[in-house]
């Protein structure tokens, strides 16, 4: 399968990354090279092979449904770049 041209602006939007024109051109080219290399996967017949998500799968891990101590509101906010009224501050989303 030949590698398609990556719609780099669309992908950057999905990833929530602002790119300069220079960055967009550079990433488009570099990602194209990487994806072209990744086509080596087609050397092997992968049809019908079961996919592996985890090498050492551990399933259905649950803990006892008990309350336990966590961060206080003040502790949760200590690393926030901006706070207001003991809450995380975000740019305005409603007019």
Partner 1 sequence: MSLATQTLASLQRRIAAGEIHPRDVVADLATTIEAGNPQLGAYLSWDADRALAEAEKADTTLPLAGLPIGIKDNINVTGQPCTCGSKMLAENYTAPYDAGAIVRLRSGGAVPFGRLNMDEFAMGSTTENSALGLTRNPRDPQRVPGGSSGGSAAAVAGNLALAALGSDTGGSIRQPAALCGCVGLKPTYGRVSRFGLVAFASSLDQIGPLTKTVEDAALLLNHLCGKDGRDSTSLDAAVPDFTTAIGRDIKGLRIGLPREYFIDGLHAGVSASVKAAVDRLAALGAELVEVSLPHTDVGVATYYIVAPAEASANLARFDGIRYGHRSDDATDLMEHYFKSRAEGFGPEVKRRILLGTYVLSSGYYDAYYLKAQRARTLIRRDFEQAFEKVDVLVSPTSPAPAHKLGELKDNPLAAYLEDVFTIPANLAGLPAISVPCNPVEVDGVSLPIGLQIIGKPLDELTVLRAADAFERG
Return the half-sphere exposure (C-beta side, CA atoms, 13 A cut-off) of residue 88.
8
CB of 51 to partner 1, least distance (A): 3
Q: Please report, to the nearest 10 degrees, the dihedral formed by the alpha carbons of residues 57, 59, 65, 71 taken in order.
A: 20
CB of 3 to partner 1, least distance (A): 10
The residues with which 88 forms a beta bridge, in sequence order, are 83
Q: Is the dihedral of CA 49, 52, 56, 60 positive or negative?
A: negative
Site for partner 1 in 27-46 (CB under 8 A): 27, 30-31, 33-35, 37-41, 43-44, 46
The one among 78, 84, 85, 86 contacting partner 1 by CB under 8 A: 78
The SS3 assignment for 63 reads coil
DSSP letter for 85, please: T
- With respect to partner 1, which residue has the nearer C-beta, 86 or 92? 92
Residues lying near partner 1 in the complex (CB under 8 A) are found at 1, 6, 8, 11-12, 14-19, 23, 27, 30-31, 33-35, 37-41, 43-44, 46, 49-56, 58, 61, 63, 71, 75, 78-82, 88-93
């Amino acid at each position: 399968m030949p590698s398609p041209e990556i719609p780099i602006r669309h992908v950057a939007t999905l990833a929530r990354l602002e790119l300069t024109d220079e960055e967009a051109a550079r990433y488009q080219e570099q990602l194209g090279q990487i994806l072209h290399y990744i086509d080596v996967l087609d050397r092997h017949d992968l049809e019908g092979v079961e996919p592996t998500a985890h090498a050492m799968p551990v399933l259905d891990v649950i803990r006892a449904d008990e309350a336990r101590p966590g961060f206080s509101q003040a502790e949760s906010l200590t690393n926030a770049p901006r706070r207001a009224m003991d809450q995380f501050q975000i740019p305005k989303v409603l007019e």
